[in-house]
Amino acid sequence: MEAVRMRFIAEVSARFAAARDSEAKAELIEELADNLVLRYQEQLASGAGEDEAYAAALNGLGDVSELISYLNSVSAGQAASSDPLESLLNDLEDITQNVFFKAKTAIEDVKKRLREEESASCGAPRSRSGGRRESGRQASAERESLSPELPLSAKDLRGVDVRIVNGDVKLSFSESEDGNVLFSGNVEELELSRTADGVLLIRQGRTASSSSLFRLGLSSSDVELCLPRRDWEFVQVNTANGDVELDGRCPVGSVSVKTATGDICGELEACSELTLYTASGDVDWHGSAGTACVESASGDLSLDGRFEDLTVTTVSGDVDLTGSLGEAKCSTISGELALESLTLPRSLSASSKSGDCFLRLPGAPEQPFSVRVSTRSGDVSSAFPLRRAPGGFICGQGGPEYALSTVSGDVQIEKL
């Protein structure tokens, strides 16, 4: 039922997009969404199907324009407010809107790009086997069609771009540093090509008609890919419906994985840029990254590694972060935050609306640090010296000041 509640929150938030962000707005959205959940349950109890119940409940919302006017009048009167917890609620509400907006656009983005590519290639004649003929090179002067059944040398490749609609993607690295790219899984469903500047493109659907089947969700195939273990400039995977797994002790410059409904798991030696996004799946990642951005609407996020600059965002999922942190910013609305760093971060902020927050730091740090804790109704405990301060508590003294904020969750700071 939590997923339905989050759907209603996203929908109601979208209807209130014209209202200025405020605590009153956040509370009203929560209240209306909760009522819609009750209406939804009532519909289900009376025998309606899930989709029918959702539509009927949402219909009960009505025209919110007067409420938007009210909220804007209230927020105009409170513009000078400087309550840090109110700011936290505003920030968290922004997160909710942003994450759900991305969730909504993730599938549309993949489908749109596939449509564009399909449209661009529909004029090119195709061979009987479905692949483009050599004569189609006027359309592929910058892109050479490849066969997944034939050996493909990785020598001139610098990156991989996988974009599929339905199916899981598994990408691994072989022990050899040179050699071929190996394909497995439903290779007969793949359309492969290589750009002039060394990018391997992998798409679903070798013919226009099969592409349409994938796009309409009527067909699904998994993609398995094994690359030689050497420096890769980038790996990019986009899938609308499917899990993504990356595995291998191999350095990659930039890694970007986006899936609308699947889980993401991976273990990579290192990458300079890491972007992981899933709307409803979980993320389980091991490895180090320079700049990392990890987001999920409702999934749990588990990260283990050394992260120089990390941003983690989820709406209802938990965050479990272990390793060594440089700069880190973690946010969740209703999930639990468990953060553990073997070294003192340069900066750290973590916020949750209703979830608890656990922070574990070195017990005998080489330099001083402090943690500012803000909570409205949660309990605060710390293995480090703790004292009251305006707006909450301060733990430790001097050095970089970390920030932990919750509205109703508990905060616990422990020593490693």
Partner 1 sequence: MSMTADTLRGNTDTIILTLLMRGDSYGYEINKSVQRRTKGEYGFKEATLYTAFKRLEQNGFIRSYWGEDGPGARRRYYSITEEGRRQWEENVRDWETTRSLLDALFDPDYDDEEG
List interacting residues with partner 1 (CB under 8 A).
Answer: 27-28, 31-32, 34-36, 38-39, 60-64, 66-67, 70, 354
**In the complex with partner 1, which residue's Cβ is closer, 62 or 368?**
62
Q: Say which residues have a Cβ less than 8 Å from residue 388's Cβ, sequence separation at least 6.
A: 394
Q: Based on CB atoms, which residue is closest to partner 1, 299 or 355? A: 355
- The alpha carbons of the chain give a radius of gyration, in whole angstroms, of 24
CB-based contact 339:330 (threshold 8 Å): yes
| Residue (43 or 241) nearer to partner 1, CB | 43
Query: Residue 64 CB, nearest distance to partner 1 (Å)?
Result: 5
Q: Which is nearer to partner 1, 25 or 229 (CB)?
A: 25
User: Measured from the CB of residue 355, what is the shortest distance to partner 1 in angstroms?
Assistant: 10
Nearer to partner 1, 39 or 215 (CB): 39
Minimum separation from the CB atom of position 298 to partner 1 (A) = 17
Least Å distance, CB 124 to partner 1, is 52
What's the token pair of residue 205?
């659907």
Least spacing, CB of residue 60 vs partner 1, in Å: 6
Nearer to partner 1, 37 or 264 (CB): 37
Instruction: Output 31 or 231, the one with its CB closest to partner 1.
Output: 31
Closer of 127 and 354 to partner 1 (Cβ): 354
Shortest distance, position 34 Cβ to partner 1, whole Å: 7
- Name the residue nearer to partner 1 (CB basis): 180 or 354: 354
- Least separation, in Å, of the C-beta of 319 and partner 1? 18
d(CA 71, CA 77): 10
The residue written with tokens 């300079």 in the block is 272
CA distance 371 to 394: 6
CA distance 320 to 303: 6
The first and second tokens of residue 50, run together, are 């899930």
Q: In the complex with partner 1, which residue's Cβ is closer, 69 or 105?
A: 69
Tokens of 391: 């707006």
Q: Compute the distance between CA of residue 272 and CA of residue 28 in angstroms, rounded to an integer.
A: 41
The minimum distance between CB 410 and partner 1, in angstroms, equals: 12
Nearer to partner 1, 11 or 300 (CB): 11
Shortest Å distance, C-beta 65 to partner 1? 8
Query: Tokens standing for 161?
Result: 């771009």
**Rounded least distance, CB 67 to partner 1, Å:** 6
Beta bridge partners of 339: 321, 359
Least Å distance, CB 119 to partner 1, is 41
Cα–Cα distance list, 198 to 29, 159, 227 (Å): 48, 7, 14
